[in-house]
Structure 1
């Protein structure tokens, strides 16, 4: 369907709808107004006539009633009138004989009249008593003819208006389609590559503005095509040397990648060395306490060995005396046996027999304590930071770390542990022990006498956590965001490197976990380590 036909049909359709609405509203208003006027006229006439004839009806003045009815019939469109007794007998009547003889059927409204006469009645009353009845009819044919003519002329005017609108739409559509045809032809030429085209501009309307804009577009397209041709020519020249430049760039990128790999390897080695250095520094911090922890069992082991040496000499002497007694073949043995028993009592042999098992047990416990301390230090100091992560029990890491720090903390801190039933976590257990050691040493430094450290492990949602909480001095709020920065420390010069918490933060990042701090100045600090609990 063409644009011109669409324009004609569209405008005609809209115009038809508007005309139908307008004519319907006008005719409805015309009918209702005329019908209401006729109804009011009929009721007024009947009411006035009943008032006029009341006295004549009451007095049975039939001559006057005939005059009144004849006089009333002079009103235009009035076709008949009757004055009746309450029983229906005729006092007086006038008008069309046919209408006077037909049965009377009162009409309720003018629009429902089908016989061309609007019939109405009213009663003649006095003091609440009915003395007579008025019946009259008004011709509605004139009114109906007027309404019919109004409808005819409305339809004629509407049809004429639609023809004029269709003609105007046809002319407008023809004008627009001609101009659009020019634009379409010009667009086809442009699609074929011909940008040197101009549309003639006539008039000052919007179509002329579109044509002007189209001409400007073709001008810019021509310029763009010229620039594109120039760029293509330049691109061809660049492509001739592109391959050699790509090769040079590739070689440069390979060199840069190797350099980055080397730098990354150096950074990794430096990071591992830094972790190991911090680990050895932590061991250095614990060295005096570890030495004291080893010296205690060494001391009572040596003391026990000296005592056992004395006891062994007593046993040697007792064996020698017993052999001498056995070797004596003749003579009275009672006196030598009495001497031997007296010597046993002097040596307190019963005490020696009860003391030796306890001395041996204490010695074994002391050597095992030394073995555990040395094994823990060996395991901690020689763990490889770059070892492959594996499933490990974090509770065991806590217990091993507490053994290393036992002597450092036992004289001033009470350590409480609440280790939950947690799944194994994929981690570098040596690095996790270093993290725990850093947190415990820091907590110990923040505590005075009778301090308390609480270590808790458990599971929250999909994370395994370890919390280390102390009731020490706490950390000021203004520096809490800085404590994980490298080389940041609040300790005196020479007592801290400022790398412990930074390394802790880095290790937790490597484990895809996190570390959180909650601290209140004067009440203590709580560090919580979170690990993903998914295991492979």
Structure 2
């Protein structure tokens, strides 16, 4: 009889462990499925974020090829036609043009071009307006006293055009570098986000790295009309499941974009609070009515239109935070909805469900 009871207890323990394992697997699969669903919604934007720098690289490479073909054949004869003073002015112009930052305001550029054109014409520079346009495009529009003799020479048009093309090689190189960095950042963020950790172990990470990864993936949706304000205070590494926390950041950022109808301000603030860290997402959207705030973490509850959400997002968020032995709180009024998350910096449990 005692043996039968012991056998029943052993079987009960075994069944319970199997059930717990099955639950853990199901929860992990649900989180991964929700993550991939969110990624699916982002595919068009991510493709744009990659295609844009690739287009810039292709255009810049074409410009470099064109400028090289045009300048290599013409440069020796041009330099031979210049005297020493003109050559020095030409080299100085090139050096300045290669180390300037292009103007980003078309209005400012037009004003500078008009003023410089009038100034050059007044000083007897032939085709002063056309030369002024190239100088402004090169970022060289002040302190031109040492170049006046060069600009007044018969070769001025040819010299400035040559300088523009040669400095264009540097501009194209910088564009390629910037575009490559941008595309690499998006690909790295995509790889980090899609990664699934099968170890089941917590690891120490910088919380803001995961948030920045998700912001990178949402850049196409944010850049149109949402200002992102990042108030990051220094944080210690937090022992966590980073893949799962990325799903938390994804849901909160996605919900904020939806609540603001892609117009407003999203503020993300972090701070260290003793043995915990606090992360707060605040948006300037329409807010959540008081009568339903207590329901937002319920499974299948959603304020979105049919087909726009599963209603599992915030429920999964809460489960993930609970798994980390943390807390998530909501405060909301029109124009200010905040989700505040508190996570322990380190917990001894590494395999909890």
TM-score where L is the length of structure 2: 0.70
Number of the residue aligned with 2:342? 530
Alpha-carbon RMSD across the aligned residues, in angstroms, is 2.7
Q: 1:38-83: per-residue Cα shift (whole Å, max 9, x none)?
A: xxxxxxxxxxxxxxxxxxxxxxxxxxxxxxxxxxxxxxxxxxxxxx
- Structure 2: unaligned runs, 5 residues or longer: 79-154, 349-353
Number of the residue aligned with 2:286? 473
Q: How far apart in 2 are the matches of 1:308 and 1:387?
A: 50
Secondary structure in 2 aligned to 1:480? helix
Q: 1:282-301: per-residue Cα shift (whole Å, max 9, x none)?
A: 11222222122222111111
C-alpha displacement of 1:348: 4.2
Q: How far apart in 1 are the matches of 2:274 and 2:168?
A: 56
C-alpha displacement of 1:513: 0.4
Secondary structure in 2 aligned to 1:475? coil
Structure 1 runs (4+) deviating above 6 angstroms are 319-322
Query: Are 1:513 and 1:529, in contact at CA under 8 Å, matched by a contact in 2?
Result: yes
Are residues 1:246 and 2:59 paired? no
Query: Are 1:416 and 1:454, in contact at CA under 8 Å, matched by a contact in 2?
Result: yes
Number of the residue aligned with 2:220? 407
Alpha carbons of structure 1 residues 316 and 291: separation in structure 2 relative to 1, 3 Å: same
Number of the residue aligned with 1:392? 205
Select 2:29's aligned residue among 243, 249, 273. Answer: 273
Are residues 1:511 and 2:324 paired? yes
- Structure 1: unaligned runs, 5 residues or longer: 1-244, 323-341
C-alpha displacement of 1:468: 0.3
Q: How does 1:253-272 map to 2 (within 5 A)?
A: 253-272=9-28
Select 2:41's aligned residue among 265, 270, 285. Answer: 285
Query: Are 1:512 and 1:531, in contact at CA under 8 Å, matched by a contact in 2?
Result: yes
Query: Are 2:226 and 2:263, in contact at CA under 8 Å, matched by a contact in 1?
Result: yes
Query: Are 1:289 and 1:408, in contact at CA under 8 Å, matched by a contact in 2?
Result: yes
Q: 1:101-141: per-residue Cα shift (whole Å, max 9, x none)?
A: xxxxxxxxxxxxxxxxxxxxxxxxxxxxxxxxxxxxxxxxx
Alpha carbons of structure 1 residues 387 and 250: separation in structure 2 relative to 1, 3 Å: closer
> Relative contact order, CA 8 A, sep 6+: which one is greater?
2
Q: How far apart in 2 are the matches of 1:393 and 1:447?
A: 28
* Alignment size in residue pairs: 272
Q: 1:492-523: per-residue Cα shift (whole Å, max 9, x none)?
A: 12211111111110111111101001112x23
Secondary structure in 1 aligned to 2:46? helix
C-alpha displacement of 1:269: 1.2
Q: How does 1:34-433 map to 2 (within 5 A)?
A: 245-314=1-70, 345=158, 348-384=161-197, 387-433=200-246
Q: How far apart in 2 are the matches of 1:271 and 1:297?
A: 37
C-alpha displacement of 1:346: 10
Q: How far apart in 2 are the matches of 1:255 and 1:535?
A: 31
C-alpha displacement of 1:246: 2.1
Query: Are 1:427 and 1:511, in contact at CA under 8 Å, matched by a contact in 2?
Result: yes
C-alpha displacement of 1:378: 0.5
Alpha carbons of structure 1 residues 254 and 247: separation in structure 2 relative to 1, 3 Å: same
Q: How does 1:479-498 map to 2 (within 5 A)?
A: 479-498=292-311
